[in-house]
């Protein structure tokens, strides 16, 4: 699942290496090659599983972590990087059980194993770390990562917050499975992705264990902590796990039961729901100002409306199971989830998809909205600008009008199934659309995805 770095491999092969040097390998790249976040992710290995043990005290914000990472070398490695903010101090690192040398600089933890790792070799890393955990500020000014609330943590990590609470290969092309073992004061509840598999209390501390079986990009991981009303039940064929801030309990009445109808409808349109459980985390976090589709269990800063609930649940197919290859392709997440909102409110009888399209298209031609094409947002500060969402959704509606309903929904289902648990880019979506519909669609996508200006109808 990890995108191989052709540049690094080529540079390595072109060196006139002696056999001894070849055996020692070369350093893994410090980034995965994404132009929007050059330091994000790392080269030279593919992470397969994270076993994270986290102990957190909300009153001091002190986080104590032990991260066990199972990975495979994709080149002969003399050393490799993990992404972790240096405000968290690393105390020790082992590779395959042996102490390894390490340094921390910026958001890079550089690990030099006692013995280099041959290409193709599986290996395990254990990192012990602690410190006062906090968020980072994104290029667009939003809070990202370990975001403290009055009673715990609102933990949302798109696009770069994962490095604020655990070391890893934090580019979305390297998906992995997870186990979270989280210990918090018993007055608090910790909620992570996947399925709650164990819970126990000792003294005044409670530990919960969560398994996330399906591959996950690290920006979709969450360990959220607060004074939550917790529920975990089978409803309509789904395991629905929810946590609601008691301040919002009144408005959130019936929140668990709202999930199955949306998921049933999306399953009928997009194909089977890709994960073993669902649910959501409703926190009182007015300072955050956004919701995130954290895998299996979105996190909301308030009780979600029907369209916001539909948006975050649609991301489970589009964004979480099928994930972009580069951040520039983010319209494949947001345009699709916005179109799914339009489908859901149409299904509810509130507003037709065509009316949603018309309302968005009514934006005046001279408005800045039309100057930023969705498949080329221009930089990380524009990742979550309106055109990525609304013009992205309009692109899908134009595709539907061009190819007809049968081909359009066949395209969406093929996208969800062909790239399940993987990564794909805009070029792959265009190729798939042309293959399924049998139509030449360059002009449509060029006008709607790539060219500044308001496309004619």
Catalog residues that contact Zn ion under the rule CB under 5 A.
334, 337
* H-helix segments, 173-304: 259-270
User: Parallel, antiparallel, or unpaired: how do β-strands 45-57 and 176-185 relate?
Assistant: parallel
- Give least dist CB 311 to Zn ion, A: 5
Q: How far apart are the first and last CA of the chain?
A: 39
**330 vs 449, which CB is nearer to Zn ion?**
330
**93 vs 393, which CB is nearer to Zn ion?**
393
**129 vs 331, which CB is nearer to Zn ion?**
331
Q: How many CB atoms lie within 10 A of CB 164?
A: 23
The packing angle between helices 392-403 and 405-418, to 10°, is: 120
**311 vs 400, which CB is nearer to Zn ion?**
311
**135 vs 311, which CB is nearer to Zn ion?**
311
- Give least dist CB 50 to Zn ion, A: 24
**181 vs 333, which CB is nearer to Zn ion?**
333
Tokens 């390490």: give the residue: 102
- Give least dist CB 118 to Zn ion, A: 41
> Would you state the structure tokens that stand for residue 25, as one six-digit string?
């390998």
- Give least dist CB 154 to Zn ion, A: 16
**215 vs 392, which CB is nearer to Zn ion?**
392
3-state secondary structure at position 358: helix
3-state secondary structure at position 135: strand
- Give least dist CB 242 to Zn ion, A: 19
Cβ-contact 156, 138 below 8 angstroms: no
- Distance, in Å, from the CA atom of 179 to the CA atom of 171, rounded to the nearest integer, reads 19
**CA angle (130 as vertex; 126, 132 as ends), nearest 5:** 150
Cβ-contact 166, 67 below 8 angstroms: yes
For 191-216, the three-class secondary structure string (H helix, E strand, C coil) is EECCEEEEEEEECCEEEEEEEEEEEE
**141 vs 250, which CB is nearer to Zn ion?**
141
The packing angle between helices 405-418 and 426-437, to 10°, is: 130
- Give least dist CB 211 to Zn ion, A: 25
Cβ-contact 84, 163 below 8 angstroms: yes
**144 vs 334, which CB is nearer to Zn ion?**
334
- Give least dist CB 291 to Zn ion, A: 8
Cβ-contact 204, 161 below 8 angstroms: no
**39 vs 334, which CB is nearer to Zn ion?**
334
In the bound state, the residue with its beta carbon closest to Zn ion is 337
- Give least dist CB 315 to Zn ion, A: 6
- Give least dist CB 278 to Zn ion, A: 16
- Give least dist CB 339 to Zn ion, A: 11
Q: How many CB atoms lie within 10 A of CB 189?
A: 21
Alpha carbon 365 to chain centroid, angstroms? 33
| Element housing 118 (H / E) | none
**167 vs 392, which CB is nearer to Zn ion?**
392
- Give least dist CB 275 to Zn ion, A: 17
Q: How far is CA 74 from CA 9, 31, 71, 196, 398, in A?
A: 9, 14, 9, 33, 41
């Amino acid at each position: 699942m990890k995108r191989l770095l052709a540049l690094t491999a080529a540079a390595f092969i072109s060196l006139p290496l002696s056999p001894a040097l070849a055996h020692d390998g070369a350093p893994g790249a410090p980034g995965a090659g994404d132009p929007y976040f050059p330091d994000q992710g790392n080269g030279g290995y593919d992470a397969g599983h994270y076993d994270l043990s986290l102990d957190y005290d909300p009153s001091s914000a002190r986080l104590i972590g032990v991260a066990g990472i199972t990975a495979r070398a994709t080149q002969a490695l003399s050393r490799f990087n993990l992404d972790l903010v240096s405000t968290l101090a690393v105390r020790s690192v082992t590779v395959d059980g042996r102490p390894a040398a390490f340094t921390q600089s910026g958001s890079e933890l550089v690990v030099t194993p006692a013995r280099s790792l041959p290409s193709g070799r599986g290996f395990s890393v254990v990192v012990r770390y602690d410190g006062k955990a906090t968020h980072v500020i994104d290029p667009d000014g939003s809070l990202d990562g370990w975001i403290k609330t009055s009673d715990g943590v609102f933990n949302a990590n798109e696009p770069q917050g994962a490095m604020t609470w655990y070391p890893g290969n934090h580019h979305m092309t390297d998906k992995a499975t997870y186990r979270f073992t989280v210990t918090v004061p018993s007055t608090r509840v910790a909620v992570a992705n996947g399925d709650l598999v164990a819970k126990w209390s000792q003294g005044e501390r409670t530990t919960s264990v969560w398994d996330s079986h399906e591959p996950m990009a690290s920006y979709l991981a969450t360990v959220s902590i607060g004074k939550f009303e917790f529920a975990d039940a089978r409803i309509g064929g789904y395991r629905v796990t929810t946590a609601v801030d008691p301040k919002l309990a009144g408005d959130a009445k019936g929140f668990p039961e709202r999930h199955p109808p949306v998921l049933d409808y999306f399953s009928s349109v997009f194909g089977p729901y890709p994960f073993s459980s669902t649910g959501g985390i409703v926190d009182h976090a007015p300072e955050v100002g956004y919701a995130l589709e954290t895998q299996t269990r979105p996190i909301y800063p308030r009780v979600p409306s029907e369209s916001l609930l539909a948006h975050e649940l649609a991301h489970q197919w589009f964004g979480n199971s099928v994930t972009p290859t580069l951040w520039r392709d983010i319209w494949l997440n947001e345009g699709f989830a916005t179109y799914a909102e339009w489908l859901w409110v149409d299904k509810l009888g509130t507003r037709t998809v065509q009316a949603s399209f018309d309302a968005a298209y009514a934006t005046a031609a001279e408005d800045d909205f039309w100057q930023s094409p969705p498949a080329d947002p221009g930089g990380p500060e524009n990742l979550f600008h309106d055109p990525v969402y609304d013009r992205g959704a309009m692109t899908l509606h134009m595709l539907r009008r061009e190819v007809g309903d049968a081909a359009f929904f066949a395209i969406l289902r093929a996208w969800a199934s062909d790239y399940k648990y993987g990564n794909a880019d805009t070029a792959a979506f265009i190729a798939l659309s042309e293959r399924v519909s049998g139509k030449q669609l360059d002009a449509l996508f060029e006008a709607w995805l790539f060219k500044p200006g308001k496309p004619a109808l």
